[in-house]
Amino acid sequence: MSNHPTQHEHKVHKKAAAHHRKAAHHFEMASKHQLMAAKADEIDDETVAAHHGYLSYGHQIQAIHYAELAAVEDESVDGND
């Protein structure tokens, strides 16, 4: 890629950046729910542990989805070189 991205490339990278941020948010939420599940497991609360594990898994799926969207956006610009 050149040192001076085109207007189109800039828009694509801004879109990719938004996807990266959404992925980061969901990874962070997945981590928080895993920690809550761990705390629940420490006190033998299987119901709460399972609930937070389930929520964490959902966030993980969303995080991976957004990370893949970001990669596709970035590749669409890099592939034009």
What pLDDT digit, counting tens, does each position of 22-77 carry? 999 999 999 999 999 999 999 999 999 999 999 999 999 999 999 999 999 988 87
For 2, phi then psi, to 5°, come to -75, 170
| pLDDT for 3 beyond 80 | no
Indicate the Cα dihedral angle 37, 43, 45, 46, nearest 10°.
Answer: 60
HSE value, Cβ hemisphere, 13 Å, CA-based, for 66: 18
Residue 72 domain boundaries: 7-78
Domain tally, the chain: 1
Query: Does 15 reside within a domain?
Result: yes
Cα–Cα distance measured from residue 12 to residue 28, given in angstroms and rounded to the nearest whole number: 24
Query: Does 2 reside within a domain?
Result: no
pTM (predicted TM-score):
0.83
Query: Does 20 reside within a domain?
Result: yes
Residue 23 burial (CB < 10 Å; 0-12/13-18/19+)?
A: buried
Cα–Cα distance measured from residue 43 to residue 35, given in angstroms and rounded to the nearest whole number: 13
